[in-house]
Amino acid sequence: MPTEQRYLSIAAELRRRITHGELAPGTKVPSIRKLAAEWGVATATAAKALTTLNQEGLIRAEARSGNVVTGTANPTSPTSSVRRRHEDLTRTRIVRAAIDTADTEGLAVLSMRGVAARLGVAAMSLYRHVAGKDELVMLMADAAFGERGYPAKPPAGWRARLELGGRTLWSLFRKHP
């Protein structure tokens, strides 16, 4: 079975579970790894299935929880949806999707193909904005460190500065495990 049919089959089964109430609103959806193992597909294929359901409004990604059922669908035209995704593809959006993937699934699962699937675009389209996974990880780190700034005037004394740095890193690591 071609990859496109596989991810559509996974999405159709999860859609059926949601519409029949087997997966109630707020319920966690199986993770990308679990779907990949259950269906015998690559993680990118499983990610694309979840991305499809996310775009339909049936599920949403939540930090540290994974994907959960929203319970409502927002049907959109597939043609306009694909066109909009490609027009809106930016480096910032790619980095945000990569951070979301790493936060929910772990850094080990992160791949260019998986990020592309989450965004609903072709894997090669990311390379117009990011040179590769190494650069993407560096951009993710920059974005994460940029979320929390330091005061304009640093505290007096080495101990206070060291404590500020330590607390800032700790809060960053807790937000993005």
pLDDT tens digits, one per residue of 9-55: 998 999 998 888 888 888 889 988 899 899 999 888 888 888 888 88
Q: 157 CB contacts (<8 Å, ≥6 apart)?
A: none
Cα(88)–Cα(83) distance, integer angstroms: 9
Which of the 8 DSSP states describes residue 31? P
Side-chain half-sphere CA neighbours of 43 within 13 A:
16
Q: Bigger pLDDT: 167 or 60?
A: 167
Helix (H) or strand (E) holding 166: helix 158-175
pTM to 2 decimal places = 0.52
Q: List the helix and strand counts (H, then E) for the chain.
A: 8, 2
State the pLDDT at residue 87: 59
DSSP-H helix ranges across 20-109 = 32-39, 43-55, 78-87, 91-105
Segment 128-151 mean pLDDT = 89
Name the residue with tokens 């159709």: 12
Domains along the sequence of the chain with CATH? 1-75 (1.10.10.10), 77-150 (1.10.10.60), 151-175 (no CATH)
Please state the φ and ψ torsions of residue 28, each to the nearest 5 degrees: -70, 140
Q: Token digits for 60? A: 């949403």
Q: What are phi and psi of 123, to 5 degrees?
A: -60, -40
For residues 57-76, average pLDDT: 70
Q: Which amino acid is at 169?
A: L
Amino acid at 98: A
Span 72-119, pLDDT tens digits: 554 444 444 444 455 578 999 999 999 998 988 888 889 998 888 888
